[in-house]
Amino acid sequence: MDVRAFLLLCLLAAPLAAAPWKFTSGPTRTHLLELYSSEGCSSCPPAEQWLGELRGAPGLWRDFVPVAFHVVYWDRLGWRDRFASKEFTARQYAYASQWGGDTVYTPGFVLDGAEWRATFERHLPPPAVEKTGVLSVEYAEGGAGRVSFAATGDFEVHAAVLGGGITSPVHAGENEGRTLRHEFVALALATAPLQAGAAELNLPKPVVAGVTRHALAVWVTRRGELTPLQATGGWLD
């Protein structure tokens, strides 16, 4: 076998690297909708169901990006929520402090950094009209991400891997005996500074039992602030 044939054979045998996922917002603001929830809270399943139904909404990822953060303070009632984290709980307390209080509750919605007391018959707000800059993301299979934001200022980027298609039987606490279903649940969160309008992230997809699909949510804030200025995201599988 000559050298050229051997090299061609090696190329054909080598596994092809998967192309990165690419997500880009428009120039106008994409809403970030956050839900603070817990498997130990009996009031949360209707909110989770409503959020899950947004999976079929035509404006998903284009007009709004949903993220469900599970908190730990219901775990004391006997059911440990496997999706809850102290980091997500601290985020909700930080919002409460920003609003001038220290009380948190579930289900709690936050829309673009502001408390949103939505009923589940309420529709999402219409697409925003203010121009905040284009947010672009490339995310590779191993978790490496590159982010760019076309705006001037001192910013940082936040990214969350989301899980969906989850069925979760609950055996204790307020939801004992119920089978809960979850979409857009935050499984991992990372933050990085944007320097000269660009940032790099390392956020692998966690291996979590029962998660049948994944998505990526990315948003930008001013450095040290919670209020999102722009968001984007999309399905990973």
pLDDT tens digits, residue range 69-90? 999 999 999 999 999 999 999 9
Higher pLDDT, 2 or 206: 206
Range of the domain at 215: 18-119+131-235
Peptide bond into 66 cis (omega under 30): no
Opening angle at CA 72, ends 71 and 73, nearest 5: 105
Is position 2 within any domain? no
pLDDT band, very low/low/confident/very high, at 2 (cuts 50, 70, 90):
low
Is position 184 within any domain? yes
Three-state secondary structure call for residue 39: coil
Q: Are 32 and 112 in contact (CB under 8 A)?
A: yes
Tell me what pLDDT residue 102 has.
84
Percent of the chain with pLDDT over 70: 91
Is position 174 within any domain? yes
Tell me what pLDDT residue 75 has.
97
CA 95 – CA 109 distance, rounded (Å): 11
Q: What rounded mean pLDDT belongs to the chain? A: 92
Q: Decide if pLDDT at 8 tops 70.
A: no
Domain count, the chain: 1
The model carries a pTM of: 0.91
Tell me what pLDDT residue 45 has.
96
Tell me what pLDDT residue 123 has.
76
Is position 12 within any domain? no
Region 172-191 average pLDDT: 97
Pairing mode, if any, of strands 135-139 and 185-193? unpaired
Long-range CB contact pairs, 209-213, < 8 A, 24+:
210/166, 210/167, 210/168, 211/163, 211/164, 211/165, 211/166, 211/187, 212/164, 212/165, 212/166, 213/163, 213/164, 213/165, 213/237
Region 56-76 average pLDDT: 97
Residue type, 93: Y
Is position 1 within any domain? no
Is position 96 within any domain? yes
Q: Decide if pLDDT at 126 tops 90.
A: no
Burial (CB < 10 A; 0-12, 13-18, 19+), residue 119, is: exposed
Is position 165 within any domain? yes
Is position 6 within any domain? no
